[in-house]
Structure 1
């Protein structure tokens, strides 16, 4: 019967404390001094020389509230326990507790350790639940239910407390909550889920629904797509080449797609090194370009046309057989022959092409066989230039 009473009382305390929870504004918290009456119920299994019954006491406590949620207290209780048969015994119980207060001080949990000296001394661990009820700014009613456990003898006692607490000391109000961090506290925020970075009015609601920088009150185009450049009325500005610079400010209105532009809408260029190398082989003792329309020769000509500021040196070479004088003349003829192809067939300006013969002085392969002679009968040309190219986005 006693256990059922204790569980019912504990449940009633939790439910009632939740029902009487304060409004959404966080209370101020202070230290307190308290005095309470205590009903103490002993475990029938408690080992004593006489059978203990219920008891009562007067409790004095000092509490220190060091954050909105956490506090600590010391407590002294003058305790009288009754024995079955009518006699009683006086003593005391001293201990400390840590307390955790729920939001808005709806209720609190506590736990600690007590030293009890009634007839004999014992150390108990205790946990419980309680609430400070506001009846005036300077007075609170204290209600608590606690259980005590002796780990050595393995028994449990229970207590119910009712008393008064007197807050004192400098109050420390907690900061009002602002769940969406828009600068409007939750109690006044009519739009509590505003996305980060959105400007809001005094009620916490957006003042620029399409986030284009124009307030709703003057925005004549309130649903502008994200990223659109708008005018003072919130309507999109024209950008014919879609480079991010409106036509009114675009000094280069036909910018190619996909390239970076500056604040005036003109292409931003970067320097880049371009290079092409060509090698053309010749028959033995011949200076005739056998395949002037070869794709590699055509590609070289296109490169020269694309980069019009470039010039080229055409180098003529021969294989080792033959006299040095003969080979020198042959190499110069080969270079000149290739220049003629560039000028006559591909319209490359002759002034951009220089020729030089090296004869047999720069062999690619020094072996004395047919393959070595074949690769050495050649002209070679390399063109390199630093040009400006548009930067890509």
Structure 2
């Protein structure tokens, strides 16, 4: 029993120290008077000179004061009567006395219950000083009346015994706190606790957060918006008026020196396309039959791709080189290579519409063999024309 009492006292002290540092809110009510009936049970081992005490009862009066919503103190007086059995005479009698003391109370959130602890001076027959801890609750009966319920245990450190009590009664709270009027520092009609713009100039219309209204949601407040009905999504200037940008390149028309910029390309501060230099190149090789200068498949995909490249980069030119295999005379092979180059040029001009001035032909005969072996495969790859187009061009830089 002694261990339980000491543990409860230590727990209450720790809880009190922590909670007192955290709570400073205004209480619901500041004071109360209470009147209660008490059942008091004495420790069977409580020593007396000539007998023992048994259970008893009393009437308790208390006055309490709440410092914060969580913390309070009270003074309590109890008119106490304990049953007494004498060791000398037979039968039992009762002895009247009193118990006076003070308590510190800690109310849990929403007044769910409270813990208390304090010191009592009990004078019934013999006087003794008791420490007490307990738990209680003020039950709401009405706005002006609460029901008191408490359980407490008492410890006499001098004689080393423990009593306990149960108390039921009523309390009358008074002195309710009056909440302070909410402040509105900038006088805009929105209290400071909800005002996200606490320095709004006088006369400016604000929304529920206390900030100046922007009806067209263009990012320019109504107080300075000279075009307050701008359609949603329109880019506006500092005055809230639409910025015209016909090619949507990010440069307003008034400053755009290139108003028809293609979509998706980077532009400079004047609205003109930013170009990068890029090297472009394509190489084509076409094979011929033995002793033939005829282009067998003029619509071959590789030939078509070469022609499209020439059209895409109209500033380029090309040199068509004719070649032959080793067999045959040097003069014959030179003539054959020149005819092969010329015939391929005709295909480019007549079939694909490439300007003839962009194409030059030259024959090398057997002087530039790809494969110097003397076999059918080497002869096959050497019977050819080859052409390479390479140029440095400017291309728009993409965003």
TM norm structure 1: 0.49
Q: TM-score normalized by structure 2?
A: 0.49
